[in-house]
Amino acid sequence: MKSTCFTIWTAGILLAMHPSCRGAAAIEELSRLDRLAAFKTSVKVGMVSSYDRTGGNDDGFSGKYSMVRKEADAVVIADLQGPGIIYRVWTPTPTDDMMEFWFDGEARPRVEIKFRDLFLGRHPAFPRPLVGFGAGGYYCYVPLPFAKSCVVRVRAPKIQFYQINYALYGPDSPVSTFDPQLSDEGRSRLEKACRLFGRAGEDISDATAPTGARIECSRSAVVLEPNSSKTVFQADKGGRIVGLRVSPVEAVAGKARDVLLKISFDGDSPAVFCPLGDFFGYAWGQPAMQSLLAGTRGETNYCYFPMPFDRRAVVEIVSERTRRTDLQVEVLHTGIPRGPDEGRFYAVWGRENPTQLGQPYTFLDTEGRGHLVGVVLQSQGFESGKTLFFEGDDQTTLDGELVIHGTGSEDFFNGGWYDVPDRWEKRISFPLSGCLGYAKHLGRTGAYRFFLGDAYAYRRSIRQTIEHAGEKNSIPTDYCSVTYFYSDRKPSANPEPPPLSKRAVTDLDEIIFPAWWQLPIYAWSFDRASLTRKMERLGNEEVRYLSLTATGQDWFGSHFLSPVCDVPTAGQYSVYLEVLKGPSQAKVQLFQNENPVAEAVDFYAEQPAKSGRVLMGGLFLNEGRNNLMFKLVGQHEKSTGLGLDLIHVICVRKP
């Protein structure tokens, strides 16, 4: 069933598709999303960063590579010759040292601000949410144009990690240098961009449609029988899609990636052909992203990339499931065709499972003219408890020149310090970037980043990659991505996804929970017990563990420890413990519903020693969080205490 509605957003003459956007008007690149498809007029896109020039992993730790040069009591971190615009500043290590922006060879800096304050919204020219912080990183998206030059200094003996993205324009480009004393017009433009950034998850088609355009909404109630497809939108004259919404979440979710989105323009091969959930930023089968341009809010998946076409557009949903699927689909569109300076929209799904040793993972490698506007990455390691593959740097080669070299995978996505509490260790979304989740025990993390003014523009070719190890791409991993871009031609490589058997999410069968680090604890004894983290050296090894020390009885009987174990797949599991045996350790037994699962295990030993894996019993565990129960049910006759020094909980799924 289909219905059509329309809304007239504003009256007046439509603006040209790619007016000059320089100087004070550069801020409009953050609010006029209808221009996102227009080819960029920059002559070079680049980034200055603190990456290790030797190919190692010292990307800011020591500060050795965190500068262009030293000047008296300061470090220069960028020295750019214009005309140009700085579009993004990022760091995970801000300080209270003064940061200076020197423009056009002037005798004094126009901007003096504490490095940290650049990102906190305390300066009227750098308001939130155009600046912000979270997931361990700090970012600034306020454009900083310069007519002749821009030197960025920090008055400190050293700094650590940083990235500064910029674009340079031709020598005759009329760029107006940044003025922190905002005019009324400048303040209005800034406020408009702030309002739009605050609408992530809402309908922003008024910003993706050209000014004055009539937006029509085609709605479809879609019934997909097993192994079938349905056309949910078709236009037989020029126009543009300015919004796409699909619901409900439950019908899209799933690890099989067996429902696909297929969009074709002007009779060409599909420009979009990828798993439906992944297109909206799903991670390992579940919704995970709420950005400005695409994601999920409530029961609705949404995308607001403008998709202009010349004469025809077809949107299809393809099911490879063995069951029926019911969806609600809305396509927002206008009758304004693609302009001569606009590219077509593409979204390419890719996967390397495993990634190639010695070679980075490739998001996109194509020829033509266009600009990269977004990437979503799901990363799955093959070993529980290890995510060192995320030490890898992103690298961007535009028109045959390596112009962008990042400092770490989470850095590319505006984050920092993965696996550190309250930093990159949980799912979190911002307007242009975010973390899809971090689960060390699953060897899993993911992220997204979208590009507006900082889009990676190319005239002949682009190669966008990311490493899967701190050095030499040495850790094989399962990497899966969606790359969004505009281009004057279809991608060089085949954009169609692989067969269904090669698309499904791969879950680990063996999950190791390090008790000494971030293992959540649901509960432990209420009385006469203490829980601490400790470290003990055994020979040449430092053994870290979580120590439960108790005396007598708890209020309700035996002392206990109940850790939370998050497993990716429901099933029957063998549950093991690895502990530090010793003279004060107890007899420990696995319980479920107040009944023992197996016999108790005595962890007493005359001298401290690692136990290795000890089977505690078998349990059926649900997908997600499970509260296990280990009770201290007694002690060896020689034991001097009642303790449990827990190193790991290990859950192994049975075939």
CATH number of 162's domain: 2.60.120.1390
pLDDT for 404 beyond 90: yes
**Residue 634 has which token pair?**
């007694």
Please work out, in degrees rounded to the nearest 5, the angle formed at the alpha carbon of residue 492 by the alpha carbons of 389 and 469.
10
Residue 5, in any domain of the structure: no
For residues 618 and 573, is the Cβ–Cβ distance under 8 A?
yes
What's the chain's average pLDDT? Answer: 94
- In angstroms, rounded to a whole number, what is the distance separating the alpha carbons of residues 363 and 447? 13
Do 56 and 192 sit in the same domain of this protein?
Answer: yes
Q: Which helix (H) or strand (E) holds 185?
A: helix 184-197
Q: Determine the average pLDDT of the residues in 562-587.
A: 97
pLDDT for 1 beyond 50: no
Do 210 and 338 sit in the same domain of this protein?
Answer: yes
Residue where one domain finishes, among candidates 342, 372, 393 = 342
Do 112 and 233 sit in the same domain of this protein?
Answer: no
Do 53 and 119 sit in the same domain of this protein?
Answer: yes
The CA-atom distances, in angstroms, between 207 and each of 191, 242, 292, 305, 345 are 14, 9, 11, 10, 17
pLDDT in tens, 158-184: 999 999 999 999 998 999 999 999 999
pTM for this model (two decimals) = 0.94
Q: Residues 6 or more apart from 250 whose CB is under 8 A from it? A: none
pLDDT band, residue 517 (cuts 50/70/90) = confident
Residue where one domain finishes, among candidates 182, 197, 212 = 197
Q: What is the DSSP letter of 29?
A: G
**Better-predicted residue by pLDDT, 149 or 496:** 149
First to last CA, the chain: 44
**HEC sequence for 79-139:** EEECCEEEEEEEECCCCCCEEEEEECCCCCCCEEEECHHHHCCCECCECCCCEEEECCEEE
Residue 421, in any domain of the structure: no
**Percentage of residues in the chain having pLDDT higher than 90:** 93
Residue 643, in any domain of the structure: yes
Residue 622, in any domain of the structure: yes
Residue where one domain finishes, among candidates 315, 342, 369 = 342
Q: Residues 6 or more apart from 616 whose CB is under 8 A from it? A: 575, 576, 577, 588, 589, 590, 597, 598, 601, 630
Do 640 and 532 sit in the same domain of this protein?
Answer: yes
pLDDT for 19 beyond 50: no
Residue 504, in any domain of the structure: no
**Residue 197 has which token pair?**
């950034």
Do 170 and 224 sit in the same domain of this protein?
Answer: no
Q: Which helix (H) or strand (E) holds 189?
A: helix 184-197
Residue 581's CATH number: 2.60.120.260
Do 155 and 236 sit in the same domain of this protein?
Answer: no
* Number of compact structural domains in the chain: 3
Could you tell me the residue range of the domain that residue 101 belongs to? 23-197
Do 236 and 136 sit in the same domain of this protein?
Answer: no
How confident is the model at residue 14, as a pLDDT? Answer: 35
Residue 467, in any domain of the structure: no
Q: Determine the average pLDDT of the residues in 75-101.
A: 97
pLDDT in tens, 260-280: 999 999 999 999 999 999 999
**Residue 415 has which token pair?**
């984050």
Do 222 and 181 sit in the same domain of this protein?
Answer: no
pLDDT for 11 beyond 60: no
Do 236 and 253 sit in the same domain of this protein?
Answer: yes
- In angstroms, rounded to a whole number, what is the distance separating the alpha carbons of residues 123 and 267? 50
CB atoms under 10 Å from CB of 487, counted, come to 23
Give phi and psi for 462, each to the nearest 5.
Answer: -145, 140
Do 189 and 129 sit in the same domain of this protein?
Answer: yes
pLDDT in tens, 408-447: 999 999 999 998 889 999 999 999 999 999 999 999 999 9
Q: Which helix (H) or strand (E) holds 223?
A: strand 214-224
pLDDT for 17 beyond 50: no
Do 41 and 186 sit in the same domain of this protein?
Answer: yes
pLDDT for 7 beyond 90: no
Residue 163, in any domain of the structure: yes
